[in-house]
Amino acid sequence: MSQDALLFDFGGTLDADGERWAVRFHREYAAGGGRLPLKEFEPVFRQSDRELEMEPTIPAMGFRAMIAAQAELLRRLLPDGRTVDLARVAERFHAESLRTVSRNRPLLESLARRYRLGIVSNFTGNLARCLAELDLLGFFAVVTDSALVGWAKPDPRIFQSSLEVLGERPEHAWMIGDNAESDIRAAAALGLRTCWLAPPERQAPDQITPTARIARLTELPAVLAPCTD
Protein backbone atom coordinates (compact mmCIF):
# COMPACT_ATOMS: atom_id res chain seq x y z
CA MET A 1 0.00 0.00 0.00
CA SER A 2 1.37 3.39 -0.96
CA GLN A 3 2.07 5.88 1.80
CA ASP A 4 2.43 8.83 -0.58
CA ALA A 5 0.75 12.09 0.39
CA LEU A 6 -1.72 13.94 -1.82
CA LEU A 7 -2.08 17.67 -1.20
CA PHE A 8 -5.09 19.43 -2.69
CA ASP A 9 -6.06 23.01 -3.25
CA PHE A 10 -9.66 23.76 -2.26
CA GLY A 11 -11.39 26.50 -4.27
CA GLY A 12 -11.50 25.62 -7.95
CA THR A 13 -10.18 22.13 -7.27
CA LEU A 14 -12.58 20.31 -4.96
CA ASP A 15 -15.63 22.45 -5.69
CA ALA A 16 -15.14 23.16 -9.42
CA ASP A 17 -13.37 21.77 -12.47
CA GLY A 18 -10.45 24.17 -12.52
CA GLU A 19 -12.42 27.42 -12.50
CA ARG A 20 -11.65 30.25 -10.10
CA TRP A 21 -14.36 31.64 -7.84
CA ALA A 22 -14.20 35.02 -9.62
CA VAL A 23 -14.94 33.39 -12.98
CA ARG A 24 -17.81 31.35 -11.58
CA PHE A 25 -19.32 34.28 -9.68
CA HIS A 26 -19.09 36.40 -12.81
CA ARG A 27 -20.89 33.78 -14.89
CA GLU A 28 -23.84 33.79 -12.49
CA TYR A 29 -23.73 37.59 -12.18
CA ALA A 30 -23.86 37.98 -15.97
CA ALA A 31 -26.69 35.44 -16.21
CA GLY A 32 -28.59 37.59 -13.73
CA GLY A 33 -28.20 40.71 -15.84
CA GLY A 34 -24.87 42.04 -14.56
CA ARG A 35 -23.21 44.42 -17.02
CA LEU A 36 -19.50 44.37 -16.14
CA PRO A 37 -17.25 42.19 -18.30
CA LEU A 38 -14.99 39.75 -16.47
CA LYS A 39 -11.93 42.00 -16.85
CA GLU A 40 -13.69 44.76 -14.89
CA PHE A 41 -15.47 42.40 -12.52
CA GLU A 42 -12.30 40.69 -11.28
CA PRO A 43 -10.76 43.69 -9.45
CA VAL A 44 -14.07 44.19 -7.66
CA PHE A 45 -14.16 40.53 -6.73
CA ARG A 46 -10.60 40.74 -5.35
CA GLN A 47 -11.68 43.68 -3.23
CA SER A 48 -14.57 41.60 -1.89
CA ASP A 49 -12.04 38.87 -1.05
CA ARG A 50 -9.98 41.34 0.98
CA GLU A 51 -13.02 42.65 2.80
CA LEU A 52 -14.29 39.13 3.48
CA GLU A 53 -10.99 38.25 5.15
CA MET A 54 -11.48 41.19 7.53
CA GLU A 55 -15.04 40.28 8.49
CA PRO A 56 -14.95 39.61 12.26
CA THR A 57 -17.43 36.74 11.89
CA ILE A 58 -15.56 34.91 9.12
CA PRO A 59 -13.92 32.29 11.41
CA ALA A 60 -17.39 31.02 12.33
CA MET A 61 -18.77 30.92 8.79
CA GLY A 62 -19.45 27.69 6.95
CA PHE A 63 -19.39 27.32 3.19
CA ARG A 64 -22.88 28.56 2.41
CA ALA A 65 -22.69 31.50 4.80
CA MET A 66 -19.35 32.58 3.35
CA ILE A 67 -20.71 32.56 -0.22
CA ALA A 68 -23.69 34.61 0.91
CA ALA A 69 -21.41 37.08 2.71
CA GLN A 70 -19.26 37.52 -0.40
CA ALA A 71 -22.36 38.12 -2.51
CA GLU A 72 -23.50 40.80 -0.06
CA LEU A 73 -20.10 42.51 -0.31
CA LEU A 74 -20.38 42.42 -4.10
CA ARG A 75 -23.84 43.95 -3.90
CA ARG A 76 -22.25 47.00 -2.25
CA LEU A 77 -19.07 47.12 -4.35
CA LEU A 78 -20.41 46.56 -7.87
CA PRO A 79 -21.77 49.59 -9.74
CA ASP A 80 -24.90 47.60 -10.61
CA GLY A 81 -24.94 45.57 -7.43
CA ARG A 82 -28.31 46.88 -6.32
CA THR A 83 -30.01 45.95 -9.58
CA VAL A 84 -28.72 42.36 -9.80
CA ASP A 85 -30.18 39.70 -7.49
CA LEU A 86 -26.88 38.75 -5.86
CA ALA A 87 -28.61 36.53 -3.33
CA ARG A 88 -29.74 34.44 -6.30
CA VAL A 89 -26.21 34.56 -7.71
CA ALA A 90 -24.96 33.11 -4.40
CA GLU A 91 -27.61 30.40 -4.44
CA ARG A 92 -26.67 29.29 -7.94
CA PHE A 93 -22.95 29.39 -7.15
CA HIS A 94 -23.55 27.29 -4.02
CA ALA A 95 -25.70 24.75 -5.86
CA GLU A 96 -23.08 24.31 -8.57
CA SER A 97 -20.40 23.81 -5.93
CA LEU A 98 -22.46 21.18 -4.14
CA ARG A 99 -22.93 19.22 -7.35
CA THR A 100 -19.20 19.09 -7.96
CA VAL A 101 -18.36 18.28 -4.34
CA SER A 102 -20.94 15.48 -4.35
CA ARG A 103 -19.36 14.03 -7.47
CA ASN A 104 -15.86 14.28 -5.96
CA ARG A 105 -16.69 12.97 -2.47
CA PRO A 106 -16.58 9.23 -3.34
CA LEU A 107 -13.23 9.77 -5.04
CA LEU A 108 -11.75 11.44 -1.97
CA GLU A 109 -13.14 8.69 0.25
CA SER A 110 -11.43 6.10 -1.94
CA LEU A 111 -8.13 8.00 -2.08
CA ALA A 112 -8.10 8.43 1.69
CA ARG A 113 -7.89 4.65 2.04
CA ARG A 114 -4.64 4.53 0.04
CA TYR A 115 -2.95 7.87 0.69
CA ARG A 116 -2.60 10.48 3.39
CA LEU A 117 -4.56 13.51 2.17
CA GLY A 118 -4.05 17.16 2.97
CA ILE A 119 -5.37 20.53 1.85
CA VAL A 120 -3.16 23.55 1.24
CA SER A 121 -5.33 26.57 0.54
CA ASN A 122 -5.17 30.34 0.51
CA PHE A 123 -8.28 30.82 2.60
CA THR A 124 -9.93 32.99 5.22
CA GLY A 125 -9.56 31.12 8.51
CA ASN A 126 -12.72 29.03 8.19
CA LEU A 127 -11.62 26.27 5.81
CA ALA A 128 -12.15 23.45 8.31
CA ARG A 129 -15.70 24.67 8.95
CA CYS A 130 -16.41 24.73 5.22
CA LEU A 131 -15.02 21.22 4.76
CA ALA A 132 -17.11 19.95 7.68
CA GLU A 133 -20.26 21.46 6.19
CA LEU A 134 -19.45 19.77 2.86
CA ASP A 135 -18.82 16.42 4.60
CA LEU A 136 -15.19 16.38 3.43
CA LEU A 137 -13.20 17.16 6.58
CA GLY A 138 -12.79 13.56 7.70
CA PHE A 139 -10.81 12.62 4.60
CA PHE A 140 -7.92 14.99 5.37
CA ALA A 141 -5.10 14.39 7.83
CA VAL A 142 -4.03 18.04 7.62
CA VAL A 143 -5.93 21.19 6.65
CA THR A 144 -3.60 24.14 6.06
CA ASP A 145 -5.49 27.43 5.90
CA SER A 146 -3.26 30.37 4.98
CA ALA A 147 -5.11 32.78 7.26
CA LEU A 148 -4.34 30.56 10.24
CA VAL A 149 -0.74 29.59 9.53
CA GLY A 150 0.40 32.99 8.27
CA TRP A 151 1.85 31.79 4.96
CA ALA A 152 0.09 31.85 1.63
CA LYS A 153 0.87 30.00 -1.57
CA PRO A 154 3.29 30.22 -3.32
CA ASP A 155 5.35 30.56 -0.10
CA PRO A 156 7.15 27.20 0.20
CA ARG A 157 6.58 27.09 3.95
CA ILE A 158 2.87 26.42 3.54
CA PHE A 159 3.66 23.21 1.61
CA GLN A 160 6.54 22.23 3.88
CA SER A 161 4.49 22.60 7.05
CA SER A 162 1.74 20.40 5.59
CA LEU A 163 4.21 17.69 4.62
CA GLU A 164 5.78 17.80 8.08
CA VAL A 165 2.39 17.09 9.65
CA LEU A 166 1.91 14.18 7.24
CA GLY A 167 5.44 12.91 7.85
CA GLU A 168 6.23 12.81 4.13
CA ARG A 169 9.09 14.11 2.02
CA PRO A 170 8.33 16.24 -1.06
CA GLU A 171 9.43 13.50 -3.46
CA HIS A 172 6.76 11.25 -1.97
CA ALA A 173 3.95 13.75 -2.43
CA TRP A 174 1.67 15.22 -5.07
CA MET A 175 0.10 18.66 -5.25
CA ILE A 176 -3.22 18.81 -7.09
CA GLY A 177 -4.59 22.24 -7.91
CA ASP A 178 -6.04 24.59 -10.50
CA ASN A 179 -3.62 27.52 -10.15
CA ALA A 180 -0.60 26.98 -12.37
CA GLU A 181 1.53 29.49 -10.49
CA SER A 182 0.71 29.09 -6.81
CA ASP A 183 -0.14 25.38 -6.88
CA ILE A 184 1.90 23.83 -9.67
CA ARG A 185 5.03 25.95 -10.09
CA ALA A 186 5.45 26.46 -6.35
CA ALA A 187 5.04 22.78 -5.44
CA ALA A 188 7.25 21.56 -8.28
CA ALA A 189 10.04 23.86 -7.08
CA LEU A 190 10.05 21.90 -3.82
CA GLY A 191 10.22 18.55 -5.59
CA LEU A 192 6.57 17.47 -5.42
CA ARG A 193 4.89 15.81 -8.35
CA THR A 194 2.09 18.00 -9.62
CA CYS A 195 -1.30 17.53 -11.24
CA TRP A 196 -2.89 20.58 -12.84
CA LEU A 197 -6.69 20.68 -12.94
CA ALA A 198 -7.74 22.93 -15.81
CA PRO A 199 -10.22 23.07 -18.68
CA PRO A 200 -8.74 21.54 -21.86
CA GLU A 201 -8.66 24.88 -23.69
CA ARG A 202 -6.57 26.65 -21.04
CA GLN A 203 -2.92 27.13 -21.99
CA ALA A 204 -0.25 26.53 -19.38
CA PRO A 205 1.94 29.54 -18.58
CA ASP A 206 5.45 29.52 -19.97
CA GLN A 207 7.97 27.26 -18.24
CA ILE A 208 5.34 25.39 -16.22
CA THR A 209 5.15 21.70 -17.00
CA PRO A 210 3.02 19.74 -14.53
CA THR A 211 3.65 16.05 -14.01
CA ALA A 212 0.09 15.46 -15.22
CA ARG A 213 -2.96 17.42 -16.31
CA ILE A 214 -6.64 16.60 -15.84
CA ALA A 215 -9.94 18.30 -16.69
CA ARG A 216 -11.92 16.74 -13.82
CA LEU A 217 -10.78 15.55 -10.42
CA THR A 218 -12.31 12.14 -11.13
CA GLU A 219 -9.50 11.60 -13.67
CA LEU A 220 -6.89 11.65 -10.89
CA PRO A 221 -6.75 7.88 -10.15
CA ALA A 222 -5.59 7.19 -13.71
CA VAL A 223 -2.75 9.65 -13.19
CA LEU A 224 -1.72 8.11 -9.88
CA ALA A 225 -1.91 4.47 -10.94
CA PRO A 226 1.34 4.35 -13.00
CA CYS A 227 3.21 5.92 -10.07
CA THR A 228 1.99 3.48 -7.43
CA ASP A 229 1.84 0.13 -9.24
Q: Which residues, in sequence order, are bridge partners of residue 207?
A: none
Same domain for 196 and 120? yes
Amino acid residing at 155: D
pLDDT at 3: 55
The C-alpha atoms of residue 212 and residue 205 are separated, in whole angstroms, by 15
* 58 and 136 share one domain: no
| Co-location of 14 and 125 in the same domain | yes
Backbone phi, psi, residue 216, to 5°:
-140, 150
Q: What is the mean pLDDT of residues 204-225?
A: 94
60 and 26 within one domain:
yes
pLDDT one-digit tens code per residue, 137-171: 999 999 999 999 999 999 999 999 999 999 999 99
In a shared domain, residues 77 and 133: no
My answer on whether 51 and 119 are in the same domain is: no
Q: What is the CA radius of gyration of the chain?
A: 17
d(CA 217, CA 19) in angstroms, rounded, equals 12
| Domain co-membership, 70 together with 173 | no
- Residue 43's alpha-carbon distances to 38, 39, 40, in angstroms, are 9, 8, 6
Are residues 111 and 41 both part of a single domain?
no
State how far the alpha carbon of 103 is from the alpha carbons of 56, 93, 146, 177, 215, in Å. Answer: 33, 16, 26, 17, 14
Categorize the per-residue pLDDT at 228 as very low, low, confident or very high, splitting at 50, 70 and 90. Answer: low
DSSP conformation class of 204: P
Q: Of the residues 96, 119, 136, which one is the last residue of a structural domain? A: 96
State the number of CA atoms in the 13 A half-sphere of 119 facing the CB: 25
- Number of domains making up the chain: 2
For the stretch 12-64, pLDDT in tens is 999 999 999 999 999 999 999 999 999 999 999 999 999 999 999 999 999 99
In this structure, the answer to whether residues 109 and 77 fall within a common structural domain is no
pLDDT band at 94 (very low <50, low <70, confident <90, very high): very high
Residues 116 and 211 both lie in one domain: yes
Asked if residue 171 lies in contact with residue 191, where contact means CB atoms within 8 angstroms, the answer is yes
Of the CA atoms within 13 Å of residue 26, those in its CB half-sphere come to 17
Q: What share of the chain in percent tops pLDDT 70?
A: 97
**CA–CA separation, 207 vs 176, rounded Å?**
18
Look up the domain containing 60 and give its range: 21-96
67 & 142 share domain: no
Q: For residues 31 and 35, give the distance between their C-alpha atoms in angstroms, rounded to a whole number.
A: 10
Q: Which of 97, 102, 76 is closest to 25 using CA atoms?
A: 97
pLDDT at position 136, please?
98
pTM, entire model? 0.94
pLDDT at position 227: 67
Q: Which of 65, 96, 127 is the last residue of a domain?
A: 96
> 212 and 107 in one domain?
yes
Instruction: State which of 47, 67, 96 marks the end of a domain.
Output: 96
Per-chain mean pLDDT for the chain: 95
